[in-house]
C-alpha cells in the first residue's frame, strides 16, 4: 500500500470515528438526552453491521480460497445484527431475537463444519492478515470494554449523587459504536486486499 493510500485509509477511519461522536451529539441534542432504539447512534450501528455482513458474505461468494472463513465471520456479525435489532424482533415476541440469532449462527456453521479442515486453514490464514488484529480490537471494544465501562455500578461510584443515566448510556454506546467502526474498517480493508489480488 502506498503512503498516499495509507493516508487515505487513516483519514477514512478517523472520519468514521468522528462520525460516532457526531451521532451521539445529534442524539443528545435532538432526542432529549435519550439514546433509544430509533436514535441515530443505533441506526448507524445497524447499518454498519449490515455492511460488515454484506462484505463478508460477498467475499465468501466471490473467493473460494477463504469461503468458509468469510461465512463464519459474516454469520457471527449477522447474529450481532439480529441482537441489535432486538426491538424489531420484540414486535414478534419478547426475546425472539435470540431464536433468529441462533438460526443465523447455525446456518453459518453448516458448511464450515462440513469442510472443517479447510475452515481451520482459512481461519489460520485470516489471523495472519493485518485486518484480523483490527477486527479483534473492534470486537473487544464492543463485547468487553463497552459492557464493563458502561456498568451502572461504576458510574454510580464515579458520579455519586450526580449520577445521570444518559452519561452511562453515551459512554457505553460510544464505545460500542467505536468498536463497530473498527470492525467496519477492518472489513473494508480486508475486502480491498482481496480486490487487489
**Where in the sequence is the domain holding 95, given as residue range(s)?**
3-195
Which residues neighbour 42 within 8 Å (Cβ) at sequence distance 6 or greater? 35, 36, 84, 173
Domain count, the chain: 1
Write out the chain's pLDDT in tens, 197 residues.
Answer: 689 888 988 999 899 999 999 999 998 888 776 677 788 999 999 999 999 999 999 999 999 999 999 999 999 999 999 999 998 888 899 988 999 999 999 999 999 999 999 999 999 999 999 999 999 999 999 999 999 998 888 888 888 888 888 888 888 999 999 999 999 999 999 999 987 65
The DSSP element (H or E) to which 21 belongs, if any, is helix 3-30
pLDDT at 33: 62
Cβ-defined contacts of 11-18 (< 8 Å, 24+): 12/185, 12/188, 13/181, 13/185, 16/181, 16/184, 16/185, 17/178, 17/181
- Does the model's pTM come out above 0.85? yes
Q: Which of 73, 179, 166, 89 is nearest to 123 (CA)?
A: 73
Q: What are phi and psi of 163, to 5 degrees?
A: -60, 130
pLDDT of amino acid 1: 61
- How much is the pLDDT for 38? 80
Q: What is the DSSP letter of 35?
A: -
Task: Locate 67 and state its grid cell.
Answer: 469461503
Write down the pLDDT at residue 99: 95
Extended strands (E) in the chain: none
* Predicted local confidence at residue 34, as pLDDT: 67
Mapped onto helix, strand or coil, the DSSP state of residue 1 is coil
Q: How high is the pLDDT of residue 2? A: 84
The residue written with cell numbers 493485518 in the block is 130
Amino acid at each position: 500500500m502506498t503512503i498516499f493510500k495509507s493516508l487515505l485509509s487513516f483519514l477514512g477511519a478517523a472520519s468514521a470515528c468522528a462520525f460516532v461522536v457526531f451521532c451521539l451529539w445529534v442524539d443528545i441534542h435532538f432526542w432529549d438526552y435519550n439514546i433509544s432504539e430509533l436514535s441515530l447512534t443505533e441506526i448507524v450501528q445497524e447499518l454498519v453491521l449490515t455492511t460488515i455482513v454484506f462484505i463478508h458474505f460477498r467475499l465468501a461468494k466471490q473467493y473460494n480460497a477463504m469461503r468458509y472463513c468469510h461465512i463464519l465471520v459474516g454469520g457471527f456479525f449477522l447474529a450481532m445484527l439480529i441482537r441489535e435489532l432486538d426491538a424489531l424482533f420484540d414486535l414478534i415476541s419478547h426475546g425472539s431475537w435470540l431464536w433468529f440469532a441462533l438460526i443465523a449462527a447455525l446456518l453459518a456453521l453448516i458448511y464450515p463444519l462440513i469442510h472443517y479442515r479447510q475452515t481451520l486453514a482459512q481461519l489460520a490464514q485470516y489471523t495472519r492478515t493485518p485486518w484480523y488484529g483490527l477486527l479483534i480490537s473492534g470486537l473487544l471494544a464492543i463485547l468487553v470494554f463497552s459492557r464493563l465501562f458502561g456498568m451502572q455500578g461504576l458510574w454510580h461510584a464515579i458520579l455519586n449523587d450526580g449520577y445521570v443515566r444518559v452519561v452511562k448510556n453515551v459512554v457505553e454506546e460510544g464505545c460500542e459504536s467505536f468498536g463497530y467502526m473498527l470492525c467496519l474498517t477492518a472489513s473494508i480493508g480486508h475486502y480491498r486486499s482481496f480486490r487487489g489480488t
